[in-house]
Amino acid sequence: MSLSKSAYLIREGFRSIRTHGFMSFASVTIITACLIIMGSITLLSLNIDALIADLEQQNEVVAFVDESIVDEASAEALKTDIMNVPNVWGADFVSRDAAMTSFMSKYDDRLMEGIDSTVFRHRFVIHLTDISQMADTKAELEAIPGIAKVNAQIEYADRFVRIRNIVSVVSLILTVILTFVSFFIMSNTIKLTTFGRREEIAIMKMVGATNSFIRTPFVIEGLILGLLGGLLGFLAVWGIYTVLNSSLLDTLTGSFVSLIPFNRVMFPMLAAYVGVGVLIGVFGGVNAIRNYLKV
Amino acid sequence: MVQMTDVTKIYDSSSTVALDGINLTINEGEFVFLVGPSGSGKTTLMKLITGEVRATAGEIVVNDFDMVKIRRRKLPKVRRTLGVIFQDYRLIENMTVYDNVAFAMRVVGAKGKSIAKRVPYVLELVGLEGREKRFPNELSGGEQQRVAIARALVNNPRMIVADEPTGNLDPVRSLELMLLFEKINEMGTTILVVTHEKELVNAFSKRVITIDDGHVISDDGDGYYSYELE
């Protein structure tokens, strides 16, 4: 394609956006709105995921060292064996003295009168990579010689896993539905602009324009509108998220729940927004004009 | 050049037989009127030439293209050898006279320089010099049809096909338009005018093909429109 022809087609794309100002505005608004909803759902699901991951970290397994191992050093030596168990990413040794101190701090001192630390066992506080495999890991930890007993709250772990799965599935379904919705709305919007121009298209066909020549300005129009919608949607979500995050920090819940910083998801999010916007725009344009090219 | 051999067109949707066994040849450089009452098949015949509809049976050759076997992708090539004119002008309302004509050249990929040279020449040929910057709705019907003729001519087609070009014009403008067609014909372009205006046809001594009910009922070398048809 020659330079002057490409320049002409690009100019035509821009001209069409200008001359169909209201429809262009409507298209951009619709893409922006859909992307804001999609982005909010994605961010919500990312945050729930992060929250659950956080809770998982706090969901520890406690392995008690056998009473026969008395001295601290040989008890602590078991750490190597524990770390060798798959799915274990951390193990903190807690001596019987430390365990008693921590226990006493929680309860009334009088309860502990006449009791010394030998009542307690040395123990390890163990963190798992994947809590869904907690039962297997528990069995493997119990198999280590020198470990007497492992306390693991398998029921809680299962519940967390279930919640996380539900959240992922629901957000996936919603995202797919919204992608289709915005594609169809976009396509119909461009269809309305092409409807007003079917005469023009018919004339182009009559004087011998090729289909690609007729299609290109519409594709460029869709591309520009999609790009614009994507960028606006991204900026809007960025703004909303930042405001939400800072207002949440001011409230009481903010001290328990914190949102993922936007910086961490900014670039993948921007890429996804621009990508989805452009795809919806281009395919919307191609789809909208298809019927008029059949003459 | 148009050559039709045993051409039949039946519309699928209504099973209407629009054309039935048409045989006709229009040679390079001819001026032909195609006449007949409403519903006789005139428009279908024209659409077969421009490739808007496909024949159900028979053979059609238009400017060396086989219109029966041609792929849809190749239709733009045929259309670039034809200039098509309609009763309702079909101009783009938000483009100036100049742009309406230049548009037809851009669409087929002409260079800016040749557009700048050719468009004023064609506008002058149809008598629209000085009207370049006007918009279609600022022109009279006759002037608008001249813009359409300029647009049809600008790519130097081998043949002009006009479907009821004077349908919306008064008798004086219609006559002027026909004289313009005659002038274009004298420059070597084949002209096919579809019409049902008797007086106009009979004012010129041209070849007249009459069709009725999908059949060619007369093909007369020197301009006679049968009155019995009306």
**Do A145 and A178 have their domain in common?**
no
Distance from CA of A5 to the nearest CA of B (A): 6
Residues in chain B closer than 8 A to A205 (CB atoms): 76, 79
pLDDT band for position B100 (cuts 50, 70, 90): very high
Residue position matching structure tokens 């002008």: B89
The one-letter amino acid at A246: S
| pLDDT value, residue A96 | 82
CB B169 within 8 Å of CB B145? yes
Residue B227 clears pLDDT 60, i.e. is over it: no
A96 in Cβ contact with A122 (< 8 Å): yes
Do residue A192 and residue A51 come from a single domain? yes
- Closest in B77, B94, B107 to A207, CB measured: B107
Which residues from chain B sit within 8 angstroms of residue A209, using beta carbons? Answer: 76, 107-108
Residues 53-72 of B with CB under 8 A from A: none
Amino acid at A214: I
- The torsion angles phi and psi of A15, rounded to 5 degrees, stand at -60, -40
User: Which domain, by its residues, includes A264?
Assistant: 3-55+159-294
ipTM higher than the 0.90 cut: no
Distance from C-alpha of B62 to C-alpha of B47, rounded to nearest angstrom: 12
Are B42 and B17 a contacting pair, CB within 8 Å?
no
Q: List Cα–Cα distances, B2 to A195, B52, B116, B117, B191, in angstroms.
A: 34, 15, 32, 31, 11
Residue A21 in contact with partner chain B when CB distance is under 8 A: no
Is residue A219 domain-shared with residue A288, that is, in the same domain? yes
Q: In the predicted model, is pLDDT for residue B230 greater than 50?
A: no
Q: Which of A85, A119, A152 is the last residue of a domain?
A: A152
**Who wins on pLDDT, A145 or B5?**
B5
Are the C-beta atoms of B56 and B4 separated by less than 8 Å?
A: no
Which chain A residues have a beta carbon less than 8 Å from that of B96?
none
Number of H helices, E strands in chain B: 7, 10
User: Strand (E) positions, A214-276?
Assistant: none
| Mutation target vs A (from B106, B108, B159, B161; most A CBs, 10 A cutoff) | B106
Asked which of A137, A152, A167 is the last residue of a domain, the reply is: A152
Arithmetic mean of pLDDT, A138-153:
84
CB A171 within 8 A of CB A41: yes
Q: In what order do the strands lie in the sheet with B31-35?
A: B82-85, B159-163, B190-195, B31-35, B207-212, B215-220
Q: Which helix (H) or strand (E) holds A73?
A: helix A72-76
- Sign of the four-CA dihedral A79, A84, A88, A90: positive
Q: Among A152, A171, A202, where does a domain finish?
A: A152
- The ranges assigned to domains in chain B are 1-81+190-230
Q: Which two tokens mark B64?
A: 């060396």
Q: Does A19 touch chain B (CB under 8 A)?
A: yes
- Determine, for residues B90 and A207 on separate chains, whether the beta-carbon distance falls below 8 Å: no
**One domain for residues A173 and A286:** yes
Segment 102-141 of chain B within 8 Å of chain A by CB: 103-104, 106-109, 111-112
- Domains contained in chain A, number: 2
pLDDT digits (tens, 9 = 90+) for B25-43: 999 999 999 998 888 899 8
Question: Is the pTM for the entire model greater than 0.90?
Answer: no
CATH superfamily membership of B1-81+190-230: P-loop containing nucleotide triphosphate hydrolases (3.40.50.300)
A290/B contact by beta carbon, under 8 A? no
User: Which CA distances in Å does B217 have to A68, B104, B115, B212?
Assistant: 119, 36, 43, 7
pLDDT digits (tens, 9 = 90+) for A197-209: 787 888 888 888 8
Q: What is the mean pLDDT of chain A?
A: 80
> Residue B122, CB half-sphere, CA atoms under 13 Å: how many?
26
Among candidates A2, A203, A213 on the partner chain, residue whose Cβ is nearest the Cβ of B90: A203
Closest CA to B53 of B36, B39, B70: B70
Is residue B211 within 8 A of residue B179, CB to CB? The reply is no
pLDDT of A115 above 80: no
Position with higher pLDDT, A122 vs A18: A122
